[in-house]
Structure 1
Amino acid sequence: HQSNSSSSSGSGGSGGSAAQEGISSVTANRQHAGGLPVSSSLSRVTCGIVFFATPHFGSDVAAMGWRLRHVPYASPAPSLARLTPGPHLTALNQALEGLHADGRIAVISAVEGERTQLAPMLPKWHVVPEASAYPGFGEKLLLTGQDHISCCKPASQSAPSYEAVATLMRRALHLARQQRDEMGQR
């Protein structure tokens, strides 16, 4: 039987934003290989998502990196454009908040608790500050002692970030089994 329940975890940077795009209704006009709108298939089978230092409202570090495209010989990653503050991210958050408010998707946002050393000559920065890492709904998980690079790498199975993902996965498996059993009874 095919399960209709899944969970996702998005890492910081474009991974979390891409996951959010995939499950938000903002992407309803995009098509995947099966011919169905991405949002109708992914949001229907997703029961939760964990974001790790994802810039829900953009990142000044990403915006600064994207501005480097105007510097000769600099070639910032095109994905930085999607991570700069703006209406695109606001629309994604509104769509995801709607799915969360309807009880369709659990949202956990892990927030980096320490500043990150990006280069030896630069000061440490919060790559994704708490105000952007937490979208204003769902559960906020502050990862004390972890920076942007280490926040998605739990030190042990007892680490709060590992527990958050494991709990969400157990919930997804429970829902999948429940749906399978209901289908078998029909």
Structure 2
Amino acid sequence: MIPKNLILLVYFHSSRPALKYGLFPCCHPVYFSAFQNEDPNVKNVCLNTKGIVFYSTPHFGSRIANLSQATALLLWPSVEVQELRQNSPQLKMIHENFLDIVKSLPVKIVTFVETKATVVTAMKFNFLLVEPESGHPGVGEYFEVPQDHLGICKPAIRYSFLYQKVVSMIRQILKELEPPDDEQKFS
């Protein structure tokens, strides 16, 4: 039985539409805000989060976002991509806040980072969008996967490592949430 209050955050950061909705820059601050909130219903968003999965999330930005303004507009017209400049102070602050939370709350973290370049635009430029140094959050399990940025969150089959690792994490969390056998007998 899956508890109603189980929250599993999955950060997909694999295409411009995902960036447009701000999944990395947005979710970390939401998680942090929930952690600090006095309203128990809001704080429970953070307290009930039991697992987080990152798919090629640039915790420390991307060199690609550092391209000149003219080049960046040609390749990456979205404002959200521009906000992911490498070593951005804003990203560093977001990440530090995140690390403070996961140090104090038990949460499982699995990170997958691409190792293949992604073909970008009709001009067929190849870029490694999230480099391993930026994709590693510094906590939890970390895996470099031979996928590009667009394919890393799309396992081809359910037997793939990407799929099985997430399923395994979810099962482990659910098992930990089960009441001990003694409690089940009396409920």
- For normalisation by structure 1, the TM-score amounts to 0.75
Structure with more contact order per residue of length (Cα contacts < 8 Å, sep ≥ 6): 1
Tell me the SS of whatever aligns to 1:94: helix
**1:44 is matched with which residue?**
47
Question: Contact 1:53–1:128 at 8 Å: present in 2 too?
Answer: yes
Q: Are 1:155 and 2:156 counterparts?
A: yes
Q: For 2:95, which of 93, 96, 103 is the aligned residue? A: 93
Tell me the SS of whatever aligns to 1:150: coil
Letter in 1 for 2:155: P
CA offsets 1:2-61 (integer angstroms, 9 cap, x no match): 6333212111143244333322359847x9xxx6685x2321110110100011001122
Tell me the SS of whatever aligns to 2:154: coil
- For normalisation by structure 2, the TM-score amounts to 0.75
Letter in 1 for 2:101: L
Q: For 2:28, which of 20, 40, 44 is the aligned residue? A: 20
Paired residue total? 177
CA pair 88-140 structure 1, distance change in 2 beyond 3 A: same
CA pair 44-82 structure 1, distance change in 2 beyond 3 A: farther
- What is the CA RMSD across the aligned residues, in angstroms? 3.6
Q: What is the CA–CA distance in structure 2 between the aligned matches of 1:24 and 1:184, rounded to whole Å?
A: 38
Structure 2 unaligned segments of length 5 or more: list them. 14-18
Identical-pair percentage: 24
Structure 1 unaligned segments of length 5 or more: list them. none
CA offsets 1:149-176 (integer angstroms, 9 cap, x no match): 0000011122121122112222333344
| More deviation, 167-176/111-120 | 167-176
CA pair 120-101 structure 1, distance change in 2 beyond 3 A: same
Q: What is the CA–CA distance in structure 2 between the aligned matches of 1:83 and 1:17, rounded to whole Å?
A: 8
